[in-house]
Structure 1
């Protein structure tokens, strides 16, 4: 006779045993010491998805780590997988995750805040002191980057993609988020004028987002002719200005190219010698001259659309992190205007603060981004569908100038990403590594 239900033994709730598999990863061990390694990866944990990484863009900070094993003040102290501009496909789903299916295409937001502190509860989670950010050496052990075949990532920080957004464009949602955050901080009014210093990926996207926000005239500047021409031709900016090299000829010029400050021009005790005063004044004179030329000239010889060119623009976005560019930003901004510090370069700078004081110029900093990925995805969807009226974001796919297949070719990708033109003289803008 078959046993009754009451005779059956109670079910045993055994712990789930995670299974490990091996993957390939591109791992940096020191300056230019990039190795292809095998790593172990567990099944996704509670609240996690396992993502097969499809595209990873190379950022300026990645290039800095690659060349120096450091980025600014952050020095790596253990092997580090780079890459934080990434998209991929869900291949496994951890416990207690809903809303995702295997095969979903996602963009990865790779900064993971604590979610519990006061700043997180205010929605400004990019400022969380416990933030872990992939491919950064700030946290120890380092939070490994996305140049791996697969990664486990919190589902809360994976953003599902519409079918009409490519993996390459989705990877660029990360720098686009920086631009969205910068323009959100600036809060331009319709018809405002803007100046963008630096025509790298972030500078280009910041210019585009300024136009998206209703700025009537956006001038972009760079020392590279090709990038400025690209910005104007593709509609990222309305005007362009190529900065002549060198930016200035004072004794501190080396500090501008290297991103570090000269002890001669700014002694630690704050007292300037006559020689250093002369050097600093020369630097300021160069900045004033650049500001005047940027406001008066464009590559089409059309005056910038402001009521009085000498008054300056409403908003300047400084996207280089260079000291002289910050000087230029202050001189180029009208009284009552704003300077948004987007680029992170020289950590300690000497600025003509009286310019900001006497003209009531607001200086606002930004750090990465917060609550921007949904906005970026909506913009890319609208771009793909085409906008019947108004400004449409230029193609992010078109910004990808060079693609490398496979992690085994990562070294070549990093070497090329540190240049502005390739061996054939073609513009190098965004380099990506694809699966």
Structure 2
């Protein structure tokens, strides 16, 4: 029997490398050998805190929801991919029958199974392992010359594209993005693709802002060093991608009258005060952007066609066995933007 190595988080700061036996395949399932998988903010929360927002680890969890790899085995009814084929992996497995799926909003599926998430119990195990089994419908075959590292950005890029999609038309508009991490920088790239005239990136640290400039921001601001007056009424669209109440406050102040605020980051409910009267009096649109839908296919296309270059965001790749070191580096925003774990497919 083939044995595969898997990262398992048992509790806060308790990550173990464990061996798993070969999984069986249902007719429409595919086994994928890991090429590269990015460490996301939610993965960091699971590792350092044992929870991500309201989702608490209740059994050992293999995190990881942004990955690319190579098909190893296929179920008897699989026709769209074959062993040896490079694939991007969509972590969303929607039911396709609930009202939200039928309305074309699969990201809001009432029965969503999202890889590497503790949102339901038993948890949906993720892709920080040497190989994993997913439904054929979650795979996008790729025949182009693109690295696993670049292709693994399809998931976070899809999040960014969905955020920009929720922003409305951006042609000729000014856009402010709070947070210059991976998602924030990818939103900068997506806003450029959508025709934004000016893209302002805000953060409270210098290294992320340097990366944001490489991503295409026309202006970068240390929001912790500015007065409220300097931030007032400077953008048509404000996108909150930092996941902090201070960043949301920046968006609420920076949005022009009649503007729109898009919340992408997950905020702590503790101490959150919302200026509803300001939203009313200035006629601000306030919308959420959660995960993605069809944008995953768009993301793969933009990466493969080189219309978006994510290489400036990739800080480091470490082998799966060095997962703890990778998590530590990924948490240090003074040194890293995106850190990935690599598997056996990366050296095939």
Counterpart residue number, 2:346? none
Q: How does 1:169-188 map to 2 (within 5 A)?
A: 169-188=150-169
Shift of residue 172, structure 1, vs aligned partner:
1.0
CA contact (8 A) 1:162 1:381 kept: no
Q: In structure 1, how many angstroms separate the alpha carbons of the residues matched to 2:182 and 2:43?
A: 14
- 1:33-432 matches, within 5 Å, as 33-232=14-213, 234-244=214-224, 289-290=227-228, 292-294=229-231, 311-347=233-269, 349-383=272-306, 392-393=307-308, 395-405=309-319, 407-421=320-334, 427-432=335-340
Q: CA deviation at 1:74?
A: 1.2
Distance 2:224 2:178 in 1: 13
**Structure 1 CA distance for aligned equivalents of residues 223 and 100 of structure 2:** 39
Deviation track 1:254-298 (CA, whole Å, cap 9, x = no partner) reads xxxxxxxxxxxxxxxxxxxxxxxxxxxxxxxx8xx34x324xxxx
Higher relative contact order (CA 8 A, sep 6+): 2
Match of 1:12 in 2: none
Per-residue displacement from partner, 1:9-65 (whole Å, max 9, x unpaired)?
xxxxxxxxxxx6421111111111111111123232121111001101100110110
* Deviation of 1:171 (Å): 0.8
CA positional deviation for 1:186: 0.7
Check whether the contact 1:314–1:333 (CA below 8 A) recurs between aligned residues. yes
Instruction: Give the 5 Å matches for 1:1-40.
Output: 21-40=2-21
Give, in angstroms, the shift of residue 162 of structure 1. 3.4
Following superposition, the deviation at residue 189 of structure 1 comes to 3.6
Matched with 1:433 is 341
The CA distance in 1 between the partners of 2:122 and 2:304, in whole Å, is: 37
SS of the residue corresponding to residue 322 of structure 2 reads: helix
Dislocated runs of 4+, deviation >4 Å: none
How far apart are the structure 1 equivalents of 2:210 and 2:311? 18
In 2, Cα distance between equivalents of 1:140 and 1:239 = 44
Q: When the two structures are aligned, how many residues end up with a matched partner?
A: 342
User: Quick one: distance in 1 between partners of 2:215 and 2:43?
Assistant: 27
Counterpart Cα distance in 1 of 2:149 and 2:172: 32
- In structure 2, C-alpha distance between the alignment counterparts of 1:398 and 1:160, rounded to whole Å: 24
Bigger-Rg structure (1/2): 1
Aligned residue for 2:82, secondary structure, equals coil
Q: Distance in 2 between matches of 1:369 and 1:347?
A: 23
CA RMSD of superposed structures (Å): 1.5
Normalised TM-score (structure 2): 0.94
Contiguous gaps of at least 5 residues in structure 1: 1-19, 246-285, 295-309, 384-391, 422-426
Name whichever structure is richer in strand by fraction.
Answer: 2
